Amino acid sequence: MNIENRVIRLPVRGREQWLDLVAGTLVREVEEDAYPLRYAITRIDDGVAWLELTLASGWREVLGSAERPPVLLPPRRKRYQTRPFAVVQVVPTGVRCEFGGYAGDATPVTNLLAASAELLVTHPNAVNASDLNEMAENVLYVEGRSLDDFLLGHLGLLPASANRIGTFVDPAGLDYLEEVTACLDAARAVAGIDCDRYRMLQESLGVAIEWSATGCAVGTVRNPEVVVAAVAGLISEGAQAIGGLSVIHGVDGDMFRRHLSGELPNPSGGIEAILTHLISALFRVPTAHAPLPYYRALKGRSTRNPRAAAEFISTPHYFSVLKGLARAPRLVPLGSTAEPPGHAITLDHVGAIVMPASCLGGLPALAAEASAIPLIAVQENRTILEVTNAKMGMVNVVVVSSYLEAAGVVLALRRGLSLESLRRPLGTARKAAWAEQVLQSAEEIRQATSVAP
């Protein structure tokens, strides 16, 4: 299997919905034996959008006779709002977020949003902080690719009180194996987490940094197939969630210094997504990853940047992953959204999605537009991108200045309060205008309102 980062440029003048445009592009442009592990619009200029994607090719070499999954699952739209009222919080990785660009520093705003909702769904990047994971009790910890498929209406989230965790370890990190096993044993002895099994990969993953054309940290993996074999073995031994550790190569002192000073995205940001998206797509289990200390020779004992401080208190950086995976929701494939199993949380529970205002090109934002879900765009979570709603032109976006304001919007939506009624000046009621293009024939109305036998 080969991992490749690619950019596709697509015209957007007179566009359809963004999700349909991206889906059509992927179907046309992705080769038969390749699979897009991730994709996002990262730039829009002069009517042209840049779609950056990471492709896994040589898919059949790993899966044998199995068919490749669809390049993008056909979206199922949200039908109605149901309880509990859930919010999705997304903090894109590898784009130098002001909140979430470091180890777990988006946790306070995540917990603020969780306090405003009944449930909050987020991904590991928002709350993982080396030895710390302080997410609130009503936060559901869902890997990014599974989160995408949840927002497309194809996965339900079944809350779990405990998971049995299997761990894979990159042999490039053999020197740190004692610290890794100590972390596993400490989690068992102190936190009561079921995580006693690990597997050393048969060869090094070859994980290395790589930068995209827009300056995002995307990364690459030379030998991704060795992860597939290890994860299959761990699941056969009873693992219900998968954690992993690997050494990330290619980070130099200047990159690390510029990251700590806020000039550069975390160099390892995108690499972890490649591995976890691959596992999610193949095995449908909760998963998360931690970097073994690729920068030990580059850093001192502390930092003046408090947002990065969690990176300096741990060697394996792995306990946050164990704590998150221990109660991560089980992933339930849905035949339809009409009859979810048990108490599963589905797209119909999602009342809002919260993202940085300059990162509205990822699948969560596109899925929000497709299902007319309020997309709360937070301006103070600045990134290196400029994919704002001024360029995307989506009608469901609510722009706010801060997460404090975003929490107020979430609370209003949860209570069923019109956002217009909370602003001044308050306009008067307006007469709806008739337009010829919205008039339908009696037959069209009958067909639209008829009930199937």
What confidence category does residue 266 fall into, taking pLDDT thresholds of 50, 70 and 90?
confident
Poorest-pLDDT segment among 147-161, 337-351, 416-430 = 337-351
Question: Residue 269: what pLDDT?
Answer: 79
Average pLDDT of the segment spanning 74-95: 95
Residue 434 confidence (pLDDT) above 70? no
Count other Cβ atoms within 10 Å, centred on residue 136: 14
Count other Cβ atoms within 10 Å, centred on residue 444: 10
Q: How far apart are CA 189 and CA 174, in angstroms?
A: 23
Residue 149 confidence (pLDDT) above 60? yes
Q: Residues 308-328: pLDDT tens digits? A: 777 777 788 899 999 999 999
Q: How far apart are CA 95 and CA 395, in angstroms?
A: 25
Q: How far apart are CA 1 and CA 57, in angstroms?
A: 6
Domains of the chain: 2-63 (3.30.1070)
Q: How far apart are CA 308 and CA 104, in angstroms?
A: 9
What confidence category does residue 436 fall into, taking pLDDT thresholds of 50, 70 and 90?
low
Answer for the pair 349, 83: CB distance below 8 angstroms, yes or no.
Answer: yes
Mean pLDDT score of the chain, rounded to an integer? 89
Q: Residues 110-133: pLDDT tens digits? A: 999 999 999 999 999 999 999 999
63, amino acid identity: L
Question: Residue 283: what pLDDT?
Answer: 93
What confidence category does residue 267 fall into, taking pLDDT thresholds of 50, 70 and 90?
confident
Average pLDDT of the segment spanning 203-210: 91
Residue 16 confidence (pLDDT) above 90? no
DSSP 205-218: --EE--B-TTS-B-
Average pLDDT of the segment spanning 277-303: 82
Answer for the pair 381, 399: CB distance below 8 angstroms, yes or no.
Answer: no
